[in-house]
């Protein structure tokens, strides 16, 4: 299966990792904490290969990787030091000039797709296009794309852009899919990959489609030749549909990925054996254009970064009643006891998945007279996501924790955090567990529960507890977790196109 890694599409992971290390703040914001300013990153291919004499459309994305709205975003082409060479035949996106493009405002986590065209007249040596973003007139991100020419024949599969959808719980819609081969070599077999996050359901109940848990989506196999210059689409009688089941949380923009890849004969043969006897109709492709190509020596897909299209399904606001779950440390002085505290979603829908705009959390205030011995890895010393306690170096110092909910909690589901503490021979004043239910939670009366100590007799106490908290202690940890969600999406893209032949 010709599914290679989209390494350049994974570049944002490196950027996020740099943020996590605390060293990727821009000079203009060097004294700001991560997330206090708007940062718009560029996610683009590192290299674009153009068949000599042809033009090539280059697609890339802009992401607001901050927790605040990025205002007055501008995308810049080239720079004073590195202007775009005339030999590249650069054509700016529609509505933009040759040096810049006004993007406008981007909300936290929002993606904006951009594309331009090149038609080089000379590519010896290869030349680069510098891209950069600014927010409110301040520099944000910068990268470059190398443009390389080739005389070799090769397929170049592309998936056309897919518009975002708006669907309420229980709704569904057809997704228009167009796959083209802009190269000069035929693709003899084609694979269609559709991946959606937990909560959305691609409707692909066809005999030539199977669910692949490793890819986190569906794979459909077409033993049809996509000729050079050809275009395939899904006909009306066998469409791709996306369904939003009842109970899915909103407001939230759920990402969906549609990718197309060339397949080896071996993969097609193995797939046919696995799906032999499968019931249901066969998902078909219909040709919209065809220009036959000769059969030169086989080469890989020239540009794998545009083998997919990502779109979002926007689900409007739903209700979810988040109730706090408390607990009791019960035992004698000196005993080490464990509690599980957190969130109980009383429905009727799931809770919003984590994102840059909002992450659900529980604030755990410990009762007095206990010393923590074990802290859940999802918990951070502090009282709120904006008040992380970076001074804590010893478990005995911890009095408050912020515990992060890293996934959507379904209706009547619980998301709990495990804490262990040694009961001390001291006064025990009750603590609490307080959950943030966000915009979905209209019933605030159950957002707090008690966390107490119940002694059963005995005196004394154990040895002093030492050691750093087991959870995260780095400042801005909550923000970085949110930024990591974007990186996770990109990692999933990479995984989809990293299947062994």
- What would the DSSP string read from start to end of 388-400? E-TT--SGGG--E
* pLDDT over 90 percentage in the chain: 44
Mean pLDDT of 286-315: 63
What are phi and psi for residue 385, nearest 5 degrees?
-60, -20
Domains plus CATH for the chain? 1-151+477-495 (2.60.40.10), 152-317 (2.60.40.10), 320-470 (2.60.40.10)
pLDDT per residue over 446-493, tens digit each?
A: 999 999 999 986 544 433 333 444 443 333 444 444 445 444 444 444
pLDDT per residue over 387-396, tens digit each?
A: 888 888 888 8
pLDDT, residue 414, reads: 97
| Enclosing H/E stretch for 460 | none
3-state secondary structure 197-249: CCCCEEECCCCCEEEECCCCEEEEEECCCECCCCEEECCCCCCEEEECCCCCC
Is the dihedral angle over the CA atoms 30, 482, 255, 46 positive or is it negative? Answer: positive
Query: In whole angstroms, what is the distance from residue 15 CA to residue 34 CA?
Result: 13
pLDDT per residue over 225-267, tens digit each?
A: 899 899 999 888 888 999 998 889 999 888 888 988 888 778 7
End-to-end CA distance of the chain: give it in Å, rounded: 4
The token pair at 148 is 């390389």
pLDDT, residue 494, reads: 42
Residues whose CB falls within 8 Å of the CB of residue 157, separated by 6 or more in sequence, listed in order = 179, 180, 181, 183, 187, 190, 226, 260, 261, 262, 301, 306, 307
- Residue 173 scores a pLDDT above 70: yes
| Enclosing H/E stretch for 50 | strand 47-51
pLDDT, residue 457, reads: 63
- Residue 16 scores a pLDDT above 70: no
- Residue 497 scores a pLDDT above 50: no
Count the neighbouring beta carbons within 10 Å of the beta carbon of residue 440: 22
What are phi and psi for residue 480, nearest 5 degrees?
-70, -35
pLDDT, residue 468, reads: 44
Q: Which of 433, 355, 444 is nearest to 400 (CA)?
A: 433
- Residue 362 scores a pLDDT above 90: yes
pLDDT per residue over 179-207, tens digit each?
A: 999 988 898 888 898 988 767 888 888 88
pLDDT per residue over 95-110, tens digit each?
A: 999 999 999 999 988 8
Query: In whole angstroms, what is the distance from residue 226 CA to residue 223 CA?
Result: 10
pLDDT per residue over 41-59, tens digit each?
A: 998 989 999 988 889 999 9
Mean pLDDT of 16-37: 38
Q: Which of 379, 314, 312, 355 is nearest to 483 (CA)?
A: 355
pLDDT, residue 288, reads: 61
What is the average pLDDT value for the chain, to the nearest integer? 80
Cα 146 to chain center, whole Å? 26
Query: In whole angstroms, what is the distance from residue 260 CA to residue 500 CA?
Result: 16
- In the numeric block, the tokens 């990925």 are attached to 257
Query: In whole angstroms, what is the distance from residue 174 CA to residue 342 CA?
Result: 39
Q: 251: cis peptide before it, omega within 30°?
A: yes
Mean pLDDT of 144-165: 90
Max Cα–Cα distance, the chain, nearest Å: 88
Q: Which of 317, 337, 345 is nearest to 435 (CA)?
A: 345
């Amino acid at each position: 299966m010709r599914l290679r890694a989209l390494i350049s599409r994974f570049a944002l992971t490196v950027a996020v990792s740099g943020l996590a290390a605390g060293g990727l703040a821009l000079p203009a914001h060097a004294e700001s904490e991560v997330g206090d300013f708007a940062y718009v990153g560029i996610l683009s291919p590192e290299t674009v290969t153009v068949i000599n004499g042809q033009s090539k459309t280059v697609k890339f994305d802009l992401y607001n990787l901050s927790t605040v709205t990025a205002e007055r975003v501008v995308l810049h082409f080239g720079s004073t030091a590195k202007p775009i060479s005339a030999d590249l035949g650069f054509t700016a996106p529609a509505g933009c000039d040759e040096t810049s493009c006004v993007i406008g405002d981007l909300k936290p986590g929002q993606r904006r797709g951009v594309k331009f065209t090149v038609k080089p007249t000379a590519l010896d040596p290869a030349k680069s296009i510098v891209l950069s973003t600014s927010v409110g007139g301040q520099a944000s991100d910068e990268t470059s794309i190398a443009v390389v020419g080739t005389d070799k024949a090769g397929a170049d599969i592309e998936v056309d852009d897919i518009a975002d959808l708006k669907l309420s719980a229980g709704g569904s819609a057809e997704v228009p899919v167009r796959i083209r081969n802009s190269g000069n070599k035929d693709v003899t077999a084609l694979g269609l990959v559709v991946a959606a996050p937990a909560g959305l359901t691609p409707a692909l109940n066809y005999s030539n489609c199977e669910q692949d848990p490793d890819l986190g989506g569906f794979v459909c196999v077409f033993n049809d030749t996509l000729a050079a210059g050809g275009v395939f689409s899904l006909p009306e009688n066998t469409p791709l549909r996306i369904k939003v089941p009842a109970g899915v949380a909103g407001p939230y923009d759920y990402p969906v990925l549609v990718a197309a890849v060339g397949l080896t004969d071996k993969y097609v043969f193995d797939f046919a054996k696995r799906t032999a006897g499968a019931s249901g109709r066969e998902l078909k492709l219909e040709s919209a254009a065809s220009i036959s190509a000769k059969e030169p020596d086989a080469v890989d897909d020239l540009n794998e970064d545009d083998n997919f299209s990502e779109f979002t399904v926007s689900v409007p606001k739903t209700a979810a009643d988040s109730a706090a779950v408390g607990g009791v440390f019960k035992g004698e002085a000196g005993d080490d006891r464990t509690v599980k505290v957190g969130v109980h979603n009383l429905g009727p829908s799931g809770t919003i998945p984590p994102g840059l705009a909002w992450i659900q959390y529980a604030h755990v205030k410990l009762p007095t007279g206990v010393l923590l011995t074990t802290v859940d890895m999802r918990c951070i010393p502090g009282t709120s996501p904006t008040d992380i306690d970076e001074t804590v170096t010893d478990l005995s110092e911890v009095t408050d924790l912020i515990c992060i909910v890293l996934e959507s909690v379904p209706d009547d589901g619980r998301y709990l955090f495990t804490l262990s503490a040694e009961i001390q021979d001291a006064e025990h004043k009750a603590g609490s567990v307080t959950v943030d239910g966000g915009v979905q939670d209209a019933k605030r009366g159950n957002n707090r529960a008690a966390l107490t100590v119940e002694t059963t007799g005995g005196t004394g106490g154990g040895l002093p507890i030492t050691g750093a908290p087991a959870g995260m202690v780095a400042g801005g940890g909550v923000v970085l977790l949110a930024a990591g969600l974007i990186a996770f999406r990109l990692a999933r893209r990479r995984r989809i196109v990293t299947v062994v032949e």
